[in-house]
Structure 1
């Protein structure tokens, strides 16, 4: 489950680990400082974008990372810079310390106007 502003999202599975996150898009003055917690690959990718696209990219990245750490059960005890997402065929794979590439798929979605969302799904049963 995840909630932000006026939106709630739920995700269910009988036999897969999964996590979901939604965020209301809003101005965050300390956005660049918060990106210091992202993996360098993600941070550099966002900062290379035109400034008017950075907010959306930040929240897209944040929701993918948050969905993943919820799915693993680690939450924010796993450093957000210890892994990164790579786009592959309309979804994302997770790479980083202690993660087997291909075990996870991350799907971004737009749950409503002014929101970003993501769901993380483990491809096989643990």
Structure 2
């Protein structure tokens, strides 16, 4: 495979893959040949066939999309945990940074150059008592805003906050080592577009971080999905415009730009 996509400073590509739609046994066998022995063993440890399928497609998805940018065969990429316990590329020919997320049937991967990036995708129809989670873990600013909304809007706003928070801690690569109430998101009014870039951050006094180095986006791709993206940009590049492109992939078969919403 020859690389056919280019990333420059300020470019962000957000990829999606609908794993449940990939059912060709021949194609799935090709995916298996891309995995390392360690990845195969991990994929096989999943108890349920659906989870094994998702894990296989996920590994093929990230390997294939990375090869769209660099002259490296999908099976030749190697990964290691970086300083922040976050997956990084070994001996990459480009300073590619990426982050994966998945939910029922949907996988997302954000790719950029140099900067720390995190993404999260959630199925908002999952059966959880989400408001009790918010009351226990969100910041006071967020819980006040959330519970001030009409009851029929609170569940959707919970997932706005949840996906943004997940994308932030994934960009750091520190997981729940960062308490969720140490930082707050301030979400601007949603317009008719399926992307909301009007997102700001603030931090508890004891947390050493700086709102001006962060850019975040919310995505409303369908009635049942929410996605968020957070980018930590070097302060010297804060004045750069960020160019966001959404891509859909069937690993080893096709990729194409997509528009939101999906339905």
CA distance in 2, matches of 1:29, 1:122: 30
The within-5 A match list for 1:1-126 is 1-26=100-125, 28-35=127-134, 36-87=136-187, 90-96=197-203, 97-124=207-234
Of 84-93 and 74-83, the range deviating more from structure 2: 84-93
- TM-score (norm. length: structure 2): 0.45
Q: Greater relative contact order (Cα 8 A, min sep 6): structure 1 or 2?
A: 1
Q: Based on CA coordinates, which of the two structures has the bigger radius of gyration?
A: 2
Q: Secondary structure at the match of 2:211?
A: coil
Deviations 1:52-102 (A, max 9, x none): 111110001000000000001111110000100124693322221211121
Displacement, 1:43? 0.9
CA distance in 1, matches of 2:143, 2:123: 20
CA distance in 2, matches of 1:12, 1:81: 27
Displacement, 1:6? 1.3
Could you list the structure 1 runs, at least 4 aligned residues long, displaced by more than 2 angstroms after superposition.
27-30, 86-91
CA distance in 2, matches of 1:51, 1:87: 18
CA distance in 1, matches of 2:128, 2:106: 23
Aligned length: 126
Displacement, 1:125? 6.7
Of 15-24 and 93-102, the range deviating more from structure 2: 93-102
Q: Secondary structure at the match of 1:102?
A: helix
CA distance in 2, matches of 1:59, 1:114: 11
**RMSD across aligned positions (CA):** 1.9
- Show structure 1 runs of 5+ residues with no match: none
- TM-score (norm. length: structure 1): 0.90
